[in-house]
């Protein structure tokens, strides 16, 4: 994932006159947010209690772990240098792409690594989705779990019903891959994402691994779509 930083303020400072100033730049003596944070902490431990400014130069800053700020880190502003647009990138580069005869590009990633977003040439790629346009219409609210799959929440948050035809794409996925499928359910102005616990194609019942919001509480017929299935990879750029 990539983030552009314009201004991050951890506190509103009454004045920056005499402030401790730290400059961050890729490849420089202060190459990261974490290094700048630690430098401020060191200055404070040495008795410097003045407000602090961390000025970040243009460039790409790789994030291998979360940068944690605590109460002791207050009284500091983090800002881009004038005209700079630094990029904080927590992603990992994937190489070794190969084009198949079917037009599908593939690459190997480290075993056990999963991700939900892929950036290609600076643009976020669309996840394989069905339907490509519009939505699937939810038809009802099941109340009984599917055989062999105990409920992991209330039926109203973990079960939903679509038509058998709409459930077919998930039903045709190997059960070992059900958990990779995302069912995105729209709740009027928001959405919830669900992983599939089980599916029964005969009546279109979908059961999820969890859920937090009741279905059908804001609208009588939910709109939804499916992501993450190889069978949905049917459009250039997905």
- pLDDT tens, residue by residue, 129-138: 999 999 999 9
- Taking all residues of the chain, what is their mean pLDDT, rounded to a whole number? 88
Q: Give me the mean pLDDT over the 58-68 stretch.
A: 93
The tokens of 69 are what?
């700020």
Alpha-carbon Rg of the chain, whole angstroms?
A: 24
Return contacts of 112-118, CB within 8 angstroms, 24+ apart.
Answer: 115/91, 117/1, 117/91, 118/94
Reported as a pLDDT band with limits 50, 70 and 90, residue 217 is confident
Ranking 9-18, 169-178, 192-201 by mean pLDDT, the lowest is 9-18
Whole-model pTM?
0.68
Residues ≥6 apart with Cβ < 8 Å to 222 = 137, 138, 160, 185, 186, 187, 215, 216
- pLDDT tens, residue by residue, 3-35: 444 334 433 333 445 679 999 999 899 999 999
Residues ≥6 apart with Cβ < 8 Å to 86 = 4, 5, 56, 57, 58, 59, 60, 61, 80
């Amino acid at each position: 994932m990539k983030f552009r930083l314009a201004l991050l303020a951890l506190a509103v400072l009454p004045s920056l006159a005499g402030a401790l100033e730290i400059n961050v730049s890729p490849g420089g003596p202060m190459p990261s947010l974490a290094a700048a944070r630690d430098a401020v902490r060191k200055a404070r431990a040495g008795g410097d209690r003045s407000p602090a400014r961390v000025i970040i130069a243009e460039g790409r800053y790789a994030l291998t772990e979360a940068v944690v700020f605590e109460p002791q880190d207050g009284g500091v502003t983090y800002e881009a240098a004038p005209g700079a647009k630094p990029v904080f990138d927590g992603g990992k580069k994937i190489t070794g792409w190969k084009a198949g005869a079917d037009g599908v590009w593939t690459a190997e990633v480290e075993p056990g690594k999963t991700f939900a977003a892929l950036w290609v040439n600076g643009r976020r790629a669309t996840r394989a989705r069905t339907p490509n346009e519009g939505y699937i219409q939810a038809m009802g609210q099941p109340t009984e779990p599917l055989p062999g799959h105990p409920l992991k929440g209330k039926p109203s948050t973990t079960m939903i019903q679509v038509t058998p035809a709409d459930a077919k794409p998930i039903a045709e996925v190997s059960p070992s891959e059900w958990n990779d499928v995302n069912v995105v359910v729209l709740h009027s102005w928001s959405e919830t994402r669900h992983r599939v616990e089980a599916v029964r194609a005969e009546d279109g019942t979908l059961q999820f691994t969890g859920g937090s919001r009741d279905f059908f509480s804001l609208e009588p017929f939910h709109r939804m779509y499916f992501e993450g299935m190889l069978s949905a990879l049917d459009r250039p750029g997905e």
